[in-house]
A and B are shown apart, each in its own frame.
Chain A
Amino acid sequence: MRSQSPDTGRRNFLKSATIAGAAALTTPVVAGAQTPDATKTPKPDAKAAPPGPKQMAAETMPPQDAKDPVFQTTSGGDFMVDVFKTLDIDYLAMNCASSFRGLHEAVLNHGGNTKPEILTCPHEEIAVHMAQGYAKIEGKPMAMICHGVVGLQHASMALYNAWCDRVPVIAMGGNIMEANKRGPGAEWVHAAIDPAAMLRDFTKWDDQPTTLQHFAESAVRAYKICTTPPMAPVVLSLDGELQENPIKDPELLRIPKLGKVIPPQGDDAALAELAQMLVNAETPVLLVDRVARTPAGMARLVELAETLQCAVIDNVGRMNFPSRHPLNQSFRRGIIRQADVIVAMEVNELWGSLSEFDDRIVRTSHPITKKGAKIATLGCRDLYMKANYQDLGRYQEVDLNIAGDAEASLPTLIEQVKRLVDDGKKTAFAARGKKLAAAHAAAVEQAKSDATIGWDASPITTARMCAEVYAQIKDEDWSLVGATIRLTWPHKLWNFEKPHQWNGVSGGAGIGYNLPASLGAALANKRHGRFTLSFGGDGDFNFVPATLWTAAHHQIPMLYIIHNNRAYHQEYMYLQAMAARHGRSLAHTDIGTTLKDPHIDYATVARGFGVYGEGPISDPAELGPALKRAVAMVKSGYPALVDVVADPR
C-alpha cells in the first residue's frame, strides 16, 4: 500500500542510526586503541581507482560494529495473536495493508492461521459486513482489520450498519503513531493522531494502545464492551511499531481474563407492573424487533405470547417469532389500532411503528394507537446513545419504560404473568387466541391468493420467485440470511420455525450490506452444516460484487439469488412521485435510477469471480430447474448465484 517503497530500509536505518548513536555514547573508549586522525587522512587522489563495493559500503553504510539487527525472535504481533486466541476469535476478515503487516505475518506464522483464520476481502466494507452477518448467526464477534485512515474510511458505512443493527464487531486499523517512525509518502497520508475519531459517533468504544500490555487489556475490554447489550462495534487502532518490534519484557506481559458477560435485566418491580398491564389488557400486542439475541430468545417470546394468547407483530430485526405461529399477526399491523396495551421490545424506532406518516408536499403524521392505549417498552436501547446520527427516531410518549435486555428479562416477565393468570383469564385468553389464529389463517390464505396474480408473468413476480425457491430448499436445514425483497413473501409463504432461519436486516439501510453480510452468516452456518441462502438486490450487489471472490476463495457455500429489477427501485418510485407532484413528464424518471443499457449479466460476473452462475432467468418456467442446479452446487460445498429478472417488489 505504500506509494514510495524504495525506502524500505529507512525505518531500519533510522533505528540503527539511533542504536549506533547510543553505542557511541555508551561504549567506553579502550585505552591504546587506534583512533582516526583527521590531520592524517589522505586526500583523494584523482588518479586512484574507483571505490569497490566494500569501500562504497564502508563509506555509505553504518559502521560494521553498529547494532543493526536483521532478525528478531519475537514480535508484538505474536503477542496480539495470543490475545486473540485467548478470546476465541475464529476469523480475522481483512483487506491487507502495510500498517498491520506485523500482525498479518504473526497470524500466519505464529498463529498458524487459525483462531483467527484470515478471510481475504477485496474491500473493507466486505470485511465489516461479513463480521456483522457472522455475529448474528454465531452469537459471537468476528474481528476485522484494515489500513488506518483510508481503510477505516471504507469500513465506516458498514460499521454504521452494524451500529444501527446492534451487532458486535471488533474492528481494527493499523497506524504509525510516532511521526519520526513514519516513512515518507503513504505512511504519512495513512496515519492519524486519532484514527477512530471518524467512527466515534457510531461505535461503542475505541482505543489506541501504546504498549502490549495496554493492547491486551484493551482487546479484552473491547470484547466485553461490544458483547454487552446494547451490543455495538468497537475499534482498536494498532501501532505498526507495536506489532512489528520485538517484545521487550515478555515475562511482564499478562492477558487478562474475560469474565462472563451478563446482559442487563429489567427491574423486577417494573416487570411485575408490566405483567399486570398485559394480563389485564383485552387486546394486548407485543411489538418486537431485535429481541432474539440467542436461540433461547424465540422460545421465550413464544412462551410469553402463548401464555397471554396475544398478538405478536414482528419487525423482523431478528428471528423473533415463528412465521406460521397462529399468534403471528405481522401482516395484520392494523391490529395496533385496536390494542389497549402495546409492549414494544427492542424496537429501534417506536414512533414510526405507532404513527402514520404521509410523504406529501406538506408532511403530516398522526398516531395510530387507540385513545387511552397504554404503551410500554422493554429494551436496552436507552442504555447507550449517541447524539449526532439520528438513528433514534422521533420521541414516542410511553407509559412505562423498562431499561433492560428484552431476552434476558423475558423469564422474569413470563413468571410474573403466569402468577397472575387464573382460570378465568385462561378461558378469556383462549378465546382471544382462537380469534387471532383464525385471522392469521385468513391472512395466509389471502397472501396465497395474492401470489397467484401474475404467476406466469415475465419478469417473474417476487411471490413466484419465493415459492420456487422454497420448493428447492424446504427440506434442507435452511437459513435465510438476507432479503432485500423484504421478508414479506418468505414470511407469508415459508415456515420459519428455527432460530437460525432468519438473522435480520442491515440496521442502517446502507446499501452494500446484503451480499457480504450474507456471506459472513454463511460462514457461520457452514460449520453447522446448514444450507444458507439469501435474496439480494442488483443495486446492493453492485456495491461490493467482489464478495463473490471471497466466497469462492474460502469455499463458503451459499445460494445467492439476485432479485434483479434492474433499478434502484425505491428511488425510481420516489422520482416518479416528484415528477407527478410537479405535473411534469414521468417519461424520464428512469434516468439515474435504473440499471439498463446495457443490462448487467450477473451470472457471468459470478463466473468471473469463480462462482457458479445461472441466469439471467426471466421465464418463470425456467426458474425451478435453474435453482435445482444451483442448490446441488451449494450442497456440494460451493457458492452459487442465480440471477432472476423479477418484477420490482
Chain B
Amino acid sequence: MTQSTTRLTIFTLAALAVASFGFATATLAQDTPAPAGDAAHGRSVYLADGCFECHGRAGQGGGFNYPTPALAKLEMPVESFVAFLRDAPHDMPSFSPNVLSDKDAADIWAFLQSLPGRKPAKDFPLLNQ
C-alpha cells in the first residue's frame, strides 16, 4: 500500500542494473573475511531489520519503486554481499555497521542460502494454466 506515487519509470531497469553491476562488482569493505553465518539468527535479523519488506520473507523478491530481486540462494560470496549492503545502488538503502554488523549481515547471507529457492516450474500445475 502506498500514498506515494508509484514510479513505473524504473521498474526492471534498476533491478537489472543491480543484477548486472551492483552485486557482481561489490568488494570487501574489510580486510578480514566476514564470519561464517548463523542462518537462524540471520532469519530473525532479516525480518526485524525489514529486508523482507522488499525481498519477501522467502527471499522471493518483490517491489519497491521498481521490482526488487529474489535473494533465495543468492549466488554471491558472503564478502561481496556484506560489501554490497554497505553501499547499495539506486533506491536500496545502505546499511552502516551501526545498524547492521558484519556478523548480522553474514548471518542474513547464511539465511538466504538456507532458503529452498526455486523449483522446476513445470512441476506446478497452477503455474501452467
Instruction: Identify the A interface with B (CB < 8 A).
Output: 315, 331-334, 337, 349, 351-360, 368, 445, 448-455, 457, 459, 461-464, 467-468, 470-471, 474, 484, 486, 488, 493, 509, 511, 537-540, 565, 567-574, 576-577, 579-581, 583-587, 589, 647-649
The 7 closest A-B pairs by CB, nearest first: A454-B58, A570-B2, A649-B62, A539-B1, A580-B93, A352-B9, A448-B121
Interface positions, chain B 73-129, Cβ under 8 Å from A, are 89-91, 93-96, 98-100, 115-121, 124, 126-129
Most buried by A among B1, B56, B91, B96: B1
Contact B94 A649, beta carbon cutoff 8 Å? no
Given A580-B99, A648-B62, answer yes or no on A569-B1 (Cβ-Cβ < 8 Å). Answer: yes
**Does B30 interact with chain A (Cβ within 8 Å)?**
no
Count of chain B residues with a beta carbon within 8 Å of a chain A beta carbon:
58
CA distance A333 to B118 in the complex (A): 24
24 A-B pairs (CB sep. < 8 Å): A332-B12, A354-B9, A356-B10, A357-B10, A360-B91, A452-B124, A453-B60, A453-B70, A454-B59, A457-B60, A468-B126, A471-B129, A511-B2, A539-B1, A540-B1, A569-B1, A573-B50, A576-B93, A580-B95, A583-B96, A585-B99, A586-B99, A647-B52, A647-B60
**Contact of A452 (CB < 8 Å), options: B10, B54, B95, B118:** B118
Interface class of chain B by DSSP? loop
CA distance A558 to B70 in the complex (A): 33
Given A359-B65, A509-B2, A569-B2, answer yes or no on A587-B58 (Cβ-Cβ < 8 Å). Answer: no
Nearest-neighbor residue (CB-CB) of B90 within chain A: A358
Contact B129 A573, beta carbon cutoff 8 Å? no
CA distance A354 to B61 in the complex (A): 24
- Residues of B within 8 Å of A462, CB to CB, are 62
Contact A449 B118, beta carbon cutoff 8 Å? yes
- Residues of B within 8 Å of A461, CB to CB, are 56, 58, 60
Most buried by A among B2, B57, B63: B2
**Does B34 interact with chain A (Cβ within 8 Å)?**
no
**Contact of A573 (CB < 8 Å), options: B9, B53, B67:** B53
**Contact of A577 (CB < 8 Å), options: B48, B93, B118:** B93
Nearest-neighbor residue (CB-CB) of A470 within chain B: B129
**Contact of A567 (CB < 8 Å), options: B1, B64, B120:** B1
Contact B58 A571, beta carbon cutoff 8 Å? no
Q: How far is the CB of A192 from chain B (nearest CB, A)?
A: 28
Contact A359 B54, beta carbon cutoff 8 Å? no
CA distance A351 to B56 in the complex (A): 30
Interface positions, chain B 13-51, Cβ under 8 Å from A, are 13-14, 16-17, 48-50
